[in-house]
Amino acid sequence: MKCRGWLSAIWDERPPRKSCLPLPQAELGAEGWSEGPLSNHGHGWLAMRGQVKDIAVVGAGMVGAALALALAKKGFDVALIETRAPAPWRAQDEVDLRVVALAASSIALFEHLGVWTAIRDARACRYRRMRVWDALAPGDLGFDAADAGANALGYILENRLIAHALWQAAQAHAQIALHCPARVAATEIEGNWRMLTFDDGSRIAARLVVAADGAESALRGMLGIATRDRDYAQRAVVAHVAHEHAHEFTAWQRFLPGATLAFLPLADGRSSIVWSLPEAEAARVLALADAEFCAELGAAFDFRLGRITATTPRAAFPLRMKLAERYIAPRFALIGDAAHVVHPLAGQGVNLGLRDALALVETLTAARSAKRDFAAETTLRRFERRRRSDNDLSAHAFDAIQRVFGSEAAPLAAVRGAGLRIVDRVTPLKQLFARHAAG
């Protein structure tokens, strides 16, 4: 993986495990938003032992669990808080309907966390090629891993499998204290600490709290962080389907009038489909009998893989863009879907969240190595500048693609087709797109 070099630099230090006791205030006040001792609130210091952490991560999904493991690997004492444990993954179960296309940077992170081999060997499908075309105009774009100088563009994996592997690794790590089931009811600042109060009345203190609790982040709401939202008035219909011809380890995407259809290869030879449709049309498609659904899906896909011969039960989820106005507050940061939700057409949502996690680990580690308060405003602003600009740019780029390719205007369709043909024929442009697709 090309990312291996810069990722390796992040993990170089292995500081000794630190005590869970709070540091003297004189060491922390210079860059903090506020100073002062942590009040006991009826708890003696002995009762607080083990409930005082360097960092508390709220949300143990793919991004939150990966962040907790990466921080623990760097020697931080971490609390990982989740309302309920992820559903276990079992090889005999049907493939989870929610899948993700993992980019090279995300795979490299999982390698460093020690979970990638188990994930890959369980049920993963490497895809080597991508094909994109427009239903309203001639011309298509095709590239493969060789264009990016890699042996794969990425892997298609089940969300549940990744979450399960990360959860198991977190359970086994000595420097991660799991709080599950636990729900945060309130948060406040006390001196150089952020307090979390759970709904059972218990509390923990951390020098930094990171919210990775999803698109409807409760902590983001508690901190009063606003979001900019766009509802696409569409739903993504998902299913796994069998087809006449082999998927050729290729990810396929077709732009249709007002819709987008993706076929992602699965390890068992089927494809996972993501069919983004206006809400009324999505409801109609969901209600079709299986044979009718397969026939309509095959036609929408231009029968690139022959007839669709079978389908699993279908599900759908709403499409929207949601961008947090800021990523930080006193001794607090947002990552993953709590900070940004993007259109799924590029399959980059989880990859963006994992890049947030990497950037935060790198920023906090650099501050600690320089003997600065790693949760100070100046430190967290470095993280925010680095990730918010990238995430916002990506979100708006995906939004622009959706608008441009979703238009039925004939002149615009002709321009789209010409653009795809040009990129496909100009090698440097094609290589650029391939490198971006490979992450």
pLDDT tens across 134-154, in order? 876 766 777 888 876 788 889
What's the pLDDT tens digit per position in 17-31? 333 333 333 333 333
What's the pLDDT tens digit per position in 367-379? 999 999 999 999 9
The pLDDT of residue 247 is above 60: yes
**Residue 114's closest CA among 172, 178, 177?**
172
Helix (H, G, I), strand (E, B) or coil at 434: helix
Phi, psi of 41 (to 5 degrees): 50, 45
Span 89-95, mean pLDDT? 94
Helix (H, G, I), strand (E, B) or coil at 437: helix
User: Which residue, chain included where needed, has tokens 């009718």?
Assistant: 292
| pLDDT band, residue 289 (cuts 50/70/90) | very high
**CB atoms < 10 A from the CB of 121, how many?**
8
CA distances from 243 to 247, 264, 373, 377, 399 (A): 8, 12, 56, 54, 31
| pLDDT band, residue 430 (cuts 50/70/90) | very low
Q: What is the C-alpha separation between 163 and 65, in angstroms, rounded?
A: 8
pLDDT: is 300 or 104 the higher one?
300
What's the pLDDT tens digit per position in 306-319? 999 999 999 999 99
What's the pLDDT tens digit per position in 304-360? 999 999 999 999 999 999 999 999 999 999 999 999 999 886 567 899 999 999 999
Average the pLDDT over each of 139-143, 164-168, 248-252, 264-268 and give the range with the smallest value. 139-143
Q: What is the C-alpha separation between 322 and 324, in angstroms, rounded?
A: 7
pLDDT of res. 398: 75
CA 109, 110, 114, 116 dihedral sign is: negative
The H or E element containing residue 329 is strand 328-329
Q: Is 340 buried (19+), middle (13-18) or exposed (0-12) by CB count in 10 A?
A: buried
CA distances from 214 to 192, 226, 371, 395 (A): 26, 14, 32, 16
**CB of 275 closer than 8 Å to CB of 294:** no
Phi, psi of 111 (to 5 degrees): -60, -45
pLDDT: is 365 or 28 the higher one?
365
**CB atoms < 10 A from the CB of 374, how many?**
21
How many Cα atoms sit within 13 Å of 1 on the Cβ side? 23
pLDDT of res. 13: 40
The pLDDT of residue 62 is above 90: yes
pLDDT: is 433 or 120 the higher one?
120
pLDDT: is 6 or 342 the higher one?
342
Tokens of 186: 């309130």
Q: What is the C-alpha separation between 330 and 328, in angstroms, rounded?
A: 7
The pLDDT of residue 99 is above 90: yes
**CB of 133 closer than 8 Å to CB of 405:** no
Rounded-to-10 torsion of CA 415, 421, 424, 425: -120
The pLDDT of residue 194 is above 50: yes
The pLDDT of residue 383 is above 70: yes
Q: What is the C-alpha separation between 15 and 73, in angstroms, rounded?
A: 9
Q: What is the C-alpha separation between 310 and 94, in angstroms, rounded?
A: 14
Contacts of 324 (CB under 8 A, 6+ apart): 220, 225, 226, 227, 334, 338, 339, 340
Q: What is the C-alpha separation between 423 and 172, in angstroms, rounded?
A: 47
Contacts of 295 (CB under 8 A, 6+ apart): 308
Contacts of 237 (CB under 8 A, 6+ apart): 273, 274, 275, 276, 277, 282, 285, 286, 314, 315, 316
Q: What is the C-alpha separation between 292 and 230, in angstroms, rounded?
A: 32
The pLDDT of residue 125 is above 90: yes
pLDDT of res. 396: 80
Q: What is the C-alpha separation between 416 and 20, in angstroms, rounded?
A: 58
Facing residues of 193 across strands?
190
N-terminal to C-terminal alpha carbon distance within the chain: 10
Contacts of 371 (CB under 8 A, 6+ apart): none
**CB of 50 closer than 8 Å to CB of 323:** no
pLDDT of res. 98: 94
Q: What is the C-alpha separation between 181 and 350, in angstroms, rounded?
A: 24
User: Which residue, chain included where needed, has tokens 């709590």?
Assistant: 338
pLDDT of res. 33: 39
pLDDT of res. 42: 40
What's the pLDDT tens digit per position in 35-58? 344 544 444 442 344 589 999 999
**Where are the alpha helices (H) located in 243-334, listed in sequence order?**
279-287, 290-300
Q: What percent of the chain stands above pLDDT 70?
A: 78
